[in-house]
């Protein structure tokens, strides 16, 4: 449950401001002070139609339900009152589902007033703060905040506590081919790999590199070096095997490159064996390299 407790402190300033505003707090109009919590029946709570997250892992829900049986719901959910005995979730669907699994009939909640625009913004920002989101899910949430909440990138950055460059780096991932975006979702490649590929103009080459990263388990460092060499005019085939970055291997590779004045790749196995791959531009360049070798 510690992850849930910490999560509240990580909320974006936009969401925090809305949740701490007395104008959005029904409970503050009763005897209770602003920020107080009400116990509301779970059967009176309906899902948030703006919930950006549609999949919830059953095992995670069951683990949270087990914890709730022991400790209760540590962090209250947030809802808006829709009418008599009817509430709609703003944030906390995972806690709500786990509470139902745990057999609870009531759940602690902050009861707010929010219009649909605020509901969407709060749900999206609350979703972005989740630690388990992949880069594409974050990017899609950013895109929805920009388009559906009519925010500018600077305003979005303020809402989620990120600078404009970070926000833009996520948004640019959505320009990648669908297959690569799916690969990011499934954890086949990292955001670092994707950021390195996003500036490539040729979709076919992007996909070729994507498959090579997976096939040869290329590190982000190797991918960045490959692309840098191509940008400098060196023809580097992506089918060349790379290596996960190792300081000593990289040091040796750089010595090779400096001595031969060309791109050199080392494929190093865990058993100490490996390959040295030397790139050349044409036959004349190959003859030049042969002249350097002893």
Strands 77-83 and 86-91: antiparallel
Which of the residue ranges 4-8, 179-183, 260-264, 275-279 would you say has the lowest mean pLDDT?
A: 4-8
The residue whose two tokens read 């590779």 is 253
Known catalytic residues are 93
Whole-angstrom Cα distance, residue 25 to residue 143? 28
Helix, strand, coil in percent for the chain, rounding step 5: 55, 15, 35
Paired tokens of 103: 């057999």
Question: How much is the pLDDT for 194?
Answer: 93
Q: What is the pTM of this model?
A: 0.48
Structural domains present in the chain: 2-114 (3.90.1530.30), 199-292 (no CATH)
Q: Go through 171-194 and write b for each residue having 16 or more CB atoms within 10 A of its CB, e for each that does not.
A: bebeebeeebbebbeeeebbbebb
Which residues are CB-neighbours of 242 under 8 A, at least 6 positions away? 216, 218, 219, 222, 223, 226, 265, 267
Whether 34 has a pLDDT exceeding 60, the answer reads no
Tally of CB atoms within 10 A around 30: 11
Question: How much is the pLDDT for 7?
Answer: 37
Whether 70 has a pLDDT exceeding 70, the answer reads yes
Tell me the percentage of the chain whose pLDDT exceeds 90.
13
Sign (positive or negative) of CA dihedral 195, 198, 202, 208: positive
Whole-angstrom Cα distance, residue 199 to residue 196? 7
């Amino acid at each position: 449950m510690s992850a849930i407790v910490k999560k509240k402190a990580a909320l974006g300033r936009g969401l925090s401001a809305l949740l701490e505003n007395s104008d959005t707090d029904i409970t503050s109009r009763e005897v209770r002070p602003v920020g107080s919590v009400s116990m509301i029946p779970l059967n009176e709570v309906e899902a948030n139609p703006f919930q950006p997250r549609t999949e919830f892992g059953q095992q995670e829900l069951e683990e949270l339900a087990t914890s709730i049986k022991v400790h209760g719901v540590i962090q209250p959910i947030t809802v808006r009152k829709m009418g008599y005995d009817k509430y709609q979730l703003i944030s906390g669907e995972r806690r709500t589902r786990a509470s139902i699994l745990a057999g609870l009939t009531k759940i602690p909640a902050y009861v707010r007033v929010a219009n649909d625009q605020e509901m969407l913004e709060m749900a999206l920002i609350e979703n972005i703060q989740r630690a388990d989101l992949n880069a594409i899910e974050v990017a899609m949430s950013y895109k929805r905040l920009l388009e559906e909440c009519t925010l500018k990138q600077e305003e979005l950055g303020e809402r989620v506590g990120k600078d404009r460059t970070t926000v833009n780096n996520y948004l640019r991932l959505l320009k990648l081919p669908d297959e690569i975006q799916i690969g990011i979702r499934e954890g086949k490649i990292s955001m670092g790999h994707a950021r390195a590929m996003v500036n490539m103009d040729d979709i076919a080459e992007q996909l070729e590199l994507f498959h090579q990263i997976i096939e040869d388990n290329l590190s982000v460092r190797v991918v960045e070096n490959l692309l840098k060499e191509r940008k400098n005019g060196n023809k580097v085939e992506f089918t060349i095997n790379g290596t996960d970055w190792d300081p000593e291997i990289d040091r040796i590779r750089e010595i090779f490159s400096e001595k031969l004045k060309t791109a050199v790749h080392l494929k190093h196995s865990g058993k100490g064996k490996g390959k040295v791959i030397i790139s050349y531009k044409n036959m004349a360049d190959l003859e030049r390299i042969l002249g350097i070798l002893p």
